[in-house]
Amino acid sequence: MFGKLFKKREAPRLTKDDLLSSRPVLNQAISWSLNNQQEVQITIPRREVWWATLLSKIIYTPKERVIALDEVGTAVWKMIERRLTVREMIAELSERYNLNRREAEASLIEYLRRLAKKNFVGFEVPRQRRNTKR
Q: Given this model, what pLDDT does residue 12 score?
A: 67
Q: How far apart are CA 113 and CA 128, in angstroms?
A: 22
Ramachandran angles phi, psi of 43, nearest 5°: -110, 120
3-state SS class at 27:
coil
Q: Given this model, what pLDDT does residue 35 score?
A: 92
Report the 10 Å Cβ neighbour count for 74.
19
Q: Given this model, what pLDDT does residue 4 score?
A: 58
Q: Given this model, what pLDDT does residue 131 score?
A: 42
Closest CA to 122 of 50, 17, 19: 19
pLDDT in tens, the chain (134 residues): 555 555 666 666 778 888 899 999 999 988 999 999 999 999 888 777 777 777 777 887 777 889 999 999 999 999 999 999 999 999 999 999 999 999 999 999 999 999 999 999 999 988 764 344 44
Q: Given this model, what pLDDT does residue 127 score?
A: 78
Task: Output the furthest CA–CA distance in the chain (Å, rounded).
Answer: 68
Closest CA to 80 of 64, 92, 62, 98: 92
Q: Where are the domains of the chain?
A: 13-124
